[in-house]
Amino acid sequence: MTTSKVLIALSTFAEYGSEPLDLLKASGLKYALNPSGRRLNESEILQLGADCEGIVAGVEPYTSQVLTQLPRLKCISRCGVGTDNVDKTKAHELGIKILNTPDPVIQPVAELTIAMMLDLLRHLTWHSLKMRGQKWEKKGGRNLQGCIVGLIGLGRIGRKVAELLRSFGAYVVGFDPHSEHAWAQKNGVELLSLQDLLKQSDIVSLHLSSDKNAPFVLSEKEIRSMKPGAMLINVARGEFVDEQALYNALADGHLAGAGLDVFPQEPYTGKLTTLDNVVLTPHAATLTRESRLEMETQAVENLLKALS
């Protein structure tokens, strides 16, 4: 094991605590860090990971072409949940294990979801922009209490969001292709069809995982079926929302606002940045000091176990 080498592909590592780096040092493994401070591209992965047996990964691309050119690679340990950036078919073919860290992200993503709802309901970003422009203008908001909030996706994060929403007195409805009726009944979540959820909800929040066998997207039809004046939150996947359809609905007032942490193309510089009824964050839902440190530590632990 002492002859093995691993790549830490993350743009930052051990920034909020030394624990993950201490684990690596104690293991006796050789390791290389990402020196760029940004997301690696394919050629950089190949250059830095050429002789590595393991990679602690972010969202950089592990395509079929990349994986076939890393002959020593045995494990990709994702610091985070989603593994859409990995060609799973090719990884399975090559015997490369894919691991992730789903639990540490639940609380921070759920909290950001609630924060976006409160921002939109009380026009915090709108008021802040006005004040920064030295304009003393006010816009009446709404309470989260009493709002009908529709959660699309009731996995770990969706369920945590439902729990937090109940503490605010919101009425929670949900849609999930794999809904568990016993859980929903026990936790006061009314299960609806997707169509009914979109029509009834004051706020729609996306918490699905990607599924190539059943791709999900809110297109023009679905967005126009939402309640006039409703709001949309997406902290799941950028491709889940038709950007042009969303822009049109926000620009003409059919939707009152949107909160987005994920985008089809990242870094994002698209036309949604021109609207003042949108809250935008740079794919930072999981980025708290506590969650980042826990994810990095778990990712290293997972990698060490896989290589041993």
The verdict on whether omega for the bond into residue 267 sits within 30 degrees of 0, i.e. cis, is yes
The residue from 72, 266, 289, 290 that is catalytic is: 266
The residue from 39, 142, 156, 283 that is catalytic is: 283
Is 266 a catalytic site residue?
yes
The residue from 237, 292, 294, 296 that is catalytic is: 237
Cα 308 from Cα 306, distance rounded (Å): 6
SS3 label, residue 204: strand
- CA distance to 92, 228, 308, per residue, from 87 (Å): 9, 40, 24
Is 237 a catalytic site residue?
yes
Q: What is the largest CA-CA distance in the chain?
A: 65
The answer to whether the CB of 145 falls within 8 A of the CB of 122 is no
Instruction: Tell me which residue has tokens 């709001």.
Output: 231
CA 197 to centroid of chain Cα atoms: 22
Is 163 a catalytic site residue?
no
The contacts found for 68-76 with CB under 8 angstroms, 24 or more apart, are 68/94, 70/45, 70/46, 73/49, 74/306, 74/307, 75/99, 75/302, 75/303, 75/306, 75/307
**Catalytic positions:** 237, 266, 283
